[in-house]
Structure 1
């Protein structure tokens, strides 16, 4: 029986795990139930378990039959999003305002499937390191695990990750060498003017007018400062001010995100954002403060590990189901920080067409669970071999 067939034969158990996780979603750093289920499953399969890595993270260690010292890391994220689910699925979220709208319940399950298979067969050299990460959705879960000395305590020669993609290309694995996903900064801008009666605007410094001018001015940061050959995005996503019809408020706020692939462009956009805010503040006689958070690094796939991932995917799924040159994504992923510490590769696995990621109507495609599990397991079997 092939690896894929063997995993698929027991897929009902995996689907049940995934749907249970979906029904009980947990926000980043609150994944206590999820991590307990992961730990219990790993221990039941004879895998050494370490809890509380990066607060709620789990690491499992499994040694193969050979004598190789190579250690291959596999990582999955566990957290949900603060979204009210809009499906009527029998396993829909039971927690108001919280939903697995990005498929992390599926990623966790696929890694559990790989761990179960490898624990049953142990047909690999070296050691498999199963990394179940908390708080991927902008809360710094990867950095928390790294700060907890993840790779010092559990050394890995290589590390791999996988994300579902509801694009209708079922079972198609895509992976890109080099920069594959953008860095992300989040910014908060606070405009302080002078409040006044709305009938006497001359007595105030209107932060709403300043806010409108700033929204317009910031659109030129990318369009008129960035080399057109280099990609960058600056999006304002939150605009807040005032609470009454007849009051000019004292303050207004803006917030948003910057996405880039190049460190020089990233620094330039942040600098121009600050300079634009300072100029607008001077022009209107207001005070503007800017806070910029470095949230995600550029995700860069290593050449050797990308080639290995492509080889495994081609073997398992066939060449027609592999995309070796997808477009880079402006979305971000904090697995990027693990790839700064250890060489590795991050791939996307296509599922059925449906609602987009981070959408309240999203539904993970359970039929790709055995595919993802097989891909991750085969990476351990191939890459742990002595002499690589």
Structure 2
């Protein structure tokens, strides 16, 4: 029997107790494999990935094999010490499903169990992906070749839980849902010296301050005001004592942008400004820009229009059009390679994602399963037609 609420809530509670960090999700993987093995196996094929060992791929063989619909869930937790007081709180000290990936997995299992009993028209590829939070799991999985050939979806779907939406609500929008991100790491090297003899030194407090100030002009003067971008420099260290001129400095920050083109434009300006500061202040700057596969989640126009139309018409679905978020999601890499749609599932919590007190409403699980089994059945029917 397909998994329903009576089975999915205990599954969620168990997953909540065993959070693991990216690429370390061995206990989670073993539990998922056990649940998948208990489903009807007539149309299921399970695949492991040697280079991404905690990933799980499951193919549901359809009646036709000329098209594949993908569905992805992430499985990792965060290095957060839980403070929810739940009777099923994390058993792993310093680790928590504070981002709701336990909700994501529970919904994915419910959808998979439905299609394990109701053969789809097309092949379906379910992706249980590790390391969304910190190690570019989506990019790793794609670049491993695991999704090549008849394991590569022609379209792909995923969701993220949203504590700011009503429980069970489906939120989506045309265009970008999540921003792309890029890390900034700049190490400045000049020449230290005595505070009384500044002309004999190359001061990296001054150079670093100039770099911080100039990088803040990018959004103000290079980004189209109708569009969006963020440059935040959250870490700046230099020097040891007040009467010694600092010969080194370290600056770290992040770029956020709603399109990959904008992300790349900001990266180019960061490089150009950094080169200019190095020349102006007679220092060396080792600049590293690391996008790491965290591309913007840019929803496909045609697929998303169909998704929104379906959810607006579906019985029992509360659809809400949402605004883009400046947070990052590594589904952006997969959707950059494979057209698809990402959406929000409301879980109505007073605490934000990544909070040590975040508790999602579990009524959202079954609503998410029902909405997506209906929609994916609809997408299958389009292929049959």
- TM-score relative to the length of structure 2: 0.89
Residue 114 of structure 1 is aligned with which of 88, 94, 111?
111
The Cα of 1:49 is off from its aligned counterpart by: 1.3
Cα distance in 2 for partners of 1:363, 1:246 equals: 50
Aligned counterparts, 1:206-225, within 5 A: 206-225=203-222
Q: Secondary structure at the match of 2:373?
A: helix
Pairing partner for 1:150 from 137, 146, 152:
146
- Written as runs of structure 1 = structure 2, the 5 A alignment for 1:156-175 is 156-175=153-172
Q: Out of 329-338 and 197-206, give the one that drifted further.
A: 197-206
- Give 1:200 deviation, angstroms: 6.4
In structure 1, how many angstroms separate the alpha carbons of the residues matched to 2:61 and 2:126?
Answer: 11
Q: Could you tell me whether the CA contact under 8 Å between 1:25 and 1:95 is conserved in 2?
A: yes
Q: How does 1:1-388 map to 2 (within 5 A)?
A: 10-45=4-39, 46=41, 47-52=44-49, 54-64=52-62, 66-67=63-64, 69-119=66-116, 121-122=117-118, 124-153=120-149, 154-196=151-193, 204-242=201-239, 248-295=245-292, 296-318=294-316, 321-323=318-320, 325-385=321-381, 386-388=383-385
Distance 1:83 1:203, change over 3 A: farther
Aligned 8 A contact 1:312 1:375 in 2: no
What's the secondary structure of 1:34's corresponding residue?
Answer: helix
Distance 1:86 1:246, change over 3 A: farther
SS at match of 1:384: helix
For structure 1, the 5+ residue unaligned runs are none
Tell me the C-alpha RMSD between the 2 structures: 2.5
Distance apart, 1:80 and its partner CA = 1.4
TM-score (norm 1): 0.88
Q: Alpha-carbon deviations, 1:206-255, whole Å to 9, x = none?
A: 32333233222211111122221221111112223345566554422111
Report the CA distance between 1:105 and its aligned residue: 1.4
Contact 2:260 2:295 (8 Å CA) reproduced: no
Q: CA deviation at 1:384?
A: 1.8
Cα distance 1:55–1:243, how it changes in 2: closer, same or farther (>3 A)? farther
1:150 is paired with a residue of what secondary structure?
Answer: coil
Give the match's secondary structure for 1:333: coil
C-alpha distance after superposition, 1:105-150 (max 9, x if no partner): 110111011112222x315322222111111124211111111223
| CA gap 1:148/1:96 in 2 versus in 1, 3 angstroms | same
Structure 2: gaps spanning 5 or more residues: none
- Structure 1, residues 3-32: CA drift from partner, whole Å, max 9, x if none? 9xx86xx32322222222222211111111
> 1:230, 1:314 → 2: CA distance?
28
Tell me the CA shift for residue 96 of structure 1.
3.0
Partners of 1:67 and 1:304 in 2: how far apart? 22
Residues 367 and 202 (structure 1 numbering): CA distance in 2 closer, same or farther, change over 3 Å? Answer: farther
Partner deviation per Cα, 1:136-191 (whole Å, 9 max, x = no partner):
12421111111122332413232111111000422221111223322211110111
Task: Answer whether contact 1:128 1:380 (CA < 8 A) is retained.
Answer: no
Give the whole-Å Cα distance in 2 for the aligned partners of 1:49 and 1:174: 31
State how far apart, in whole Å, the 2-side matches of 1:128 and 1:27 are.
27
Residue range with higher mean Cα deviation, 181-190 or 208-217: 208-217
Between the aligned partners of 2:331 and 2:189, the Cα distance in structure 1 is 37
Counterpart CA distance in 2 for 1:20 and 1:191 is: 47
Q: 1:246 to 1:314 in 2, by over 3 A?
A: same
SS in 2 for 1:151: coil
> Deviations for 1:278-305, whole angstroms, at most 9, x for unmatched residues?
2223333222121111232222212232
